[in-house]
Amino acid sequence: MSQLKIVGFAGNASRPSRTSALVQAIAGAAQLRTGAYTSLHDLTDVHPSLGATLDPRQAPPDLAALISEITAADALIVGSPVYKGTYTGLFKHLFDLIEPKALKDKPIVLAATGGSERHALVVDHGLRPLFAFFSADILSTGIYATETDFTDYRPSHPQLLRRIERVADELSFKLGVRAPLLAQSA
């Protein structure tokens, strides 16, 4: 069997970013359990190309490569900061460029960050319907975090860290890695 590939994508437009840090933490926890190759991307990697592309067949090489990597991945970890009650527009635009059947049955972890708890439902009312459209295999645990859940742009709140571990276990199971590598190395 070839090595599993997990792609993380954060819909943030600035660095440093709590959203990128959250996606990275989830990917790291999943990598420890699965041994998967992980790659991480954010909007700042493709911002100019993405904003100027209306047809994926005319995407510049950097954007075409990202779309290819996303569609070829064994699993995705996606996160977006909440802006005016939902995910960012360019985050959505990236997924608008992806063929609807390309994510069918692909395990997807959903994550979001926001300034307050009042945006916490974005995972279930914004991100989940978006990826349901693709018939993706959306994991049951979604993660939402606020600024208070981070220290120096790193996830630090114990409850958030437990949720990251939980979703990494779920993703490991979905990918067919029944015995977490984390436990095997202990």
pLDDT digits (tens, 9 = 90+) for 138-172: 999 999 999 999 999 999 999 999 999 999 999 99
Sign of CA dihedral 118, 120, 123, 125: negative
pLDDT digits (tens, 9 = 90+) for 9-35: 999 988 899 999 999 999 999 999 999
Model pTM score: 0.93
- If you compute the radius of gyration of the chain from its CA atoms, what whole number of angstroms results? 16
Q: How far apart are CA 15 and CA 61, in angstroms?
A: 23
Domain range for residue 29?
5-184
Report the pLDDT averaged over residues 42-68: 94
Nearest to 9 by CA among 131, 122, 119, 140: 131
* DSSP secondary structure code for residue 139 in this structure: -
CATH number at residue 66: 3.40.50.360
Amino acid 186: pLDDT: 43
pLDDT digits (tens, 9 = 90+) for 29-41: 999 999 999 999 9
Q: How many other CB atoms are found less than 10 A from the CB of residue 85?
A: 12
- Work out how many domains the chain is built from and give that number: 1
